[in-house]
Structures are given as structure tokens and as C-alpha cells.
Amino acid sequence: MSPAFSPLVVVPVFDHPDAIAGLVDTLRGHGVGCLLVDDGSGPACAAQLAALAEQFPGEVSLLRLGHNQGKGAAVMAGLREAGRRGYSHALQIDADGQHDARDVPRFLAMARESPGAVINGRPVYDDSVPRARLYGRYATHVWVWINTLSFDIRDSMCGFRVYPLAPTLALLDDQRIGTRMDFDTEILVRLHWRGLAIHDCPTRVTYPEHGVSHFRLLRDNLRISAMHTRLFFGMLLRLPRLLARKVRR
């Protein structure tokens, strides 16, 4: 990779011992460094992460958080670590096995072509997707379209994307972002508010038969609802600027 485009893969992990080794194996095949962020996993998964970092030095590294802080917190810790190491971009991919890591080269190629944009995964589902989860996502899609006054973000909940680190870290320094399941949507909306382009990258998403999900229906839906409320009022404060941007287009 050229010095101007130096990506690092960031994988937030919280107790995904059955999926993480296969994911790391696929990522290593793409020739890009991988940072595993252990978000307070239990002993079995923590030991596996340590073993992967030890087995593949220079390819896989490990950042361990002292206790479980939430997916968003783990991603933010990984982004900051990538910035400290001098990388220009960070590719986030979840550890649960739902995303097709074979698409990493396509995401990175798009990011190299448009280095100032967020390359955002747009899920292409198969029949394994739970219908309740699929329908529930549409409520978030509608709120995102309202809060950005646009259809620029087709899906804000996919945990497979590439961030340009300089503007992303500047946002994290300026704003308090949700630290759990609200993170993926909130950071994308706020980056859009700051004028970053959002480019879609279609990618296959499956729900493994014995996959582990840490989404908690009541708690996380309440948290996401609160996030949409915050963003709505934030949109109202930015309304003149957002409308002016639409006119300029």
C-alpha cells in the first residue's frame, strides 16, 4: 500500500470464539494488517485472541480493553489505535461471521479511489436473515433519511465499512458518540453532517445457524431510539446548513 493510503482492519470482538479464527484467516489472505480489539471477552475467547496475535506477529495484533464497554467503544478504541500507528484508513468488520470478508479488497479499492469518503457496506441478504431484524432496520433507515435530509446513507447499521481516519478521529474528539449498538448509525450520520461522502459497497450478509448475537432487543432498541431522538434535534439545529448543501447540489 502506498504511504498516502495505508489501511488497517479493525475487528471488535466480544466472545466470538467460533468465528474469529476463520475471519482472521480470510483477512490475512488479503495482505492487510489486522487489529483485534478484545472488548472484555471471557477467558476462552481472550486466550484465542492472544494465540492468534502470537501466531501471526506483524499481521495480527491485539488491543485488550479491561472490561466490556460495548461494540462502539471497541471500534473507537481501534480507530484511535490505528491513528496512533499512523494508518490513514481503518476497515471495520464485525467478528460474528455475518460479513463476507472476501469483499475486503473491493472495500479497500473503493477507499483508495475515494480516500476522503466513507465506504459503507450495503447488505445483500440471503434467506438466513431473521425477518424481525430485517423489518426493524427499516425504521432506522427512515430516521437516518430524515436526519440527513437525504438518501445518501442507504444502510447505516452494517458493521462493515472503511473510515478515513483524519476526519473520523476529529469527530470522535469533538463529539460524544454512542458506545454500543447505536454507534454504527450515529457516527455515519455525524460524518455525513460534516460533509463526508458516503459510498455504498454491496456485500453479502448471512446469519450463521449457530451464530452469537449480542443485540439485546429491549435495551438496544431503547438505546437506538434515544440516539434517533438526539440526532433529530441535532438535525434541526443544522437545518439551514443541510438545506443549503442540498441547494448547492
62 vs 242: which has the higher pLDDT: 62
Decide which of 105 and 19 is more confident.
Answer: 105
DSSP helix/strand/coil, 82: helix
The predicted pLDDT at position 1 comes to 43
Using alpha carbons, list the distances in angstroms from residue 78 to 65, 83, 196: 10, 9, 21
Region 84-106 average pLDDT: 95
Closest CA to 80 of 37, 24, 16: 37
- Residue-level pLDDT at 2: 44
Asked if residue 18 has pLDDT above 50, the reply is yes
Region of 190 on the Ramachandran plot (φ > 0 left; ψ -120 to 50 alpha; else beta): alpha
Lowest-confidence segment of 84-93, 109-118, 209-218 by average pLDDT: 209-218
- For residue 212, pLDDT over 70 is answered with no
Please say if the pLDDT value at position 218 is more than 70. no
Q: Is the pLDDT of residue 247 over 60?
A: yes
Q: What is the pLDDT of residues 173-197, one digit of tens each?
A: 999 999 988 999 999 999 999 999 9
CA distance 147 to 229: 10
Task: List, in order of start, the domains of the chain with CATH numbers.
Answer: 7-242 (3.90.550.10)
State the angle between helix axes of 165-174 and 71-84 in degrees (0 to 180), rounded to the nearest 10.
120
Pairing of strands 89-93, 118-125: unpaired
Cell reading at 31: 495482505
User: Tens digit of pLDDT for each residue in 134-154?
Assistant: 666 778 899 999 999 999 999
Burial zone of 234 (CB within 10 Å; 0-12 exposed, 13-18 middle, 19+ buried): middle
Report percent pLDDT > 70 for the chain: 90
How far is residue 102 from each of residues 23, 27, 75, 93, 107, measured CA to CA in Å?
9, 8, 21, 11, 10
Q: What's the grid cell of residue 53? A: 496475535
* Average pLDDT estimate for 211-228: 71
In the chain, which residue ranges form alpha helices assigned H by DSSP? Answer: 20-28, 43-55, 71-84, 104-113, 131-148, 165-174, 183-193, 217-237, 239-248
